[in-house]
Amino acid sequence: MRRVREQVGDLEGPRADGGSGITVAMLDTGVAFHPDLAGRVLCFRDFTGPCRSAWAGSRDAYDDNGHGTHVAGIICGSGLLSAGKYRGLAPGVRLVVGKVLDERGDGLTEAMLRGLDWILEVRERYRIRILNISVGIGDLEDKQKELALQEKLEEIWDRGILVVCAAGNKGPGEGTVSSVGGSSSVVTVGCHDGSFKEGASWLCSNYSGRGIPGEAPRKPDLVAPGTEIVSCNSMCYRFHGNYINAYAVKSGTSMATPIVSAAAALALQKFPSMTHEECRQKLQYTATDLGLPWNQQGWGMVNVRRLLE
């Protein structure tokens, strides 16, 4: 996360209260107990229905895959077990978590739609300002379902929630942005690591979803680091007083997306009267141009320093 902070211009370093007062909703694989996330989760709901997990349908927070816990740590992990080394970008944020993917990371469109309806239902109760969707949904054969998702995202956006979605990992071909990320009512985040290991074949920029040149809406909106991000591990456990497997390494646009969500939370904390549309524009206009084609970088790399000026 130190490397990430350097790349996104967060020169002040981790702030223990960064994002305080801001609630971020997540639709993902859930969230597991982790000391770094203690006190962060305000509400949890499982929309996966019957599946192989014994926890299915539970209202107690859990994550039988690990993806969601990792994403949550990037947003608001305290870094307790790492002496702050792996602290999230906005540790003061609180989370509302909907589980829409099962233990294999698979999910149904219906689960996502139920999760989006739930966000609308509880948005005022928990004062949700941001919705993070680190889920890449490919082209749906059922175009009615795709249309239903886009309409629901538009409704959430119209209610004043900043929706931040992953571009997906189907790149680098043109037109490979996720179906959800292709909506005009979301901030779509691709993956780029700047100068980190420049030229390496395994960087996430090599498979980050890309838009179609000249096609509206132009996607992605922004990029953020997403290769080899260290964050909370859902398999963390205590053994003889010590925590084992506290952190895990993951890569992809799923990891880049919560960096932008956390940056937005920092901005909304500093400028409380800012609307979600103003926040989107400020994220875009303050980004660092990497000199890449628009369908690869959008406005550029999210820049926290400029965002908070």
**Backbone φ, ψ for residue 180 (5° rounding):** -70, -45
Q: Which helix (H) or strand (E) holds 150?
A: helix 143-158
Residue type, 217: P
Largest CA distance in the chain: 59
Whether the Cβ atoms of residue 100 and residue 224 lie closer than 8 Å to each other = no
Q: Which two tokens stand for residue 238?
A: 């205590």
Place of tokens 């929309």: 47
Integer Cα distance of 140 and 76 in angstroms: 32
67 is catalytic: yes
Closest of 10, 24, 167 to residue 93, by C-alpha: 24
Taking residue 55's Cβ as centre, other Cβ atoms within 10 Å add up to: 16
Half-sphere exposure of 60 (CA within 13 A, CB side): 4
Q: Which helix (H) or strand (E) holds 114?
A: helix 109-122
Closest of 228, 163, 208 to residue 298, by C-alpha: 208
**Backbone φ, ψ for residue 41 (5° rounding):** -90, 115
Q: What residues are paired with 292 via a beta bridge? A: none
Integer Cα distance of 33 and 267 in angstroms: 28
254 is catalytic: yes
Q: Which two tokens stand for residue 279?
A: 């926040």
Q: Which two tokens stand for residue 121?
A: 């239902």
Q: Which of the residues 67, 70, 192, 276 is marked catalytic?
A: 67
DSSP 246-264: -EEEE-SHHHHHHHHHHHH
Q: Which of the residues 205, 254, 261, 276 is marked catalytic?
A: 254
What is the set of active-site residues? 28, 67, 254
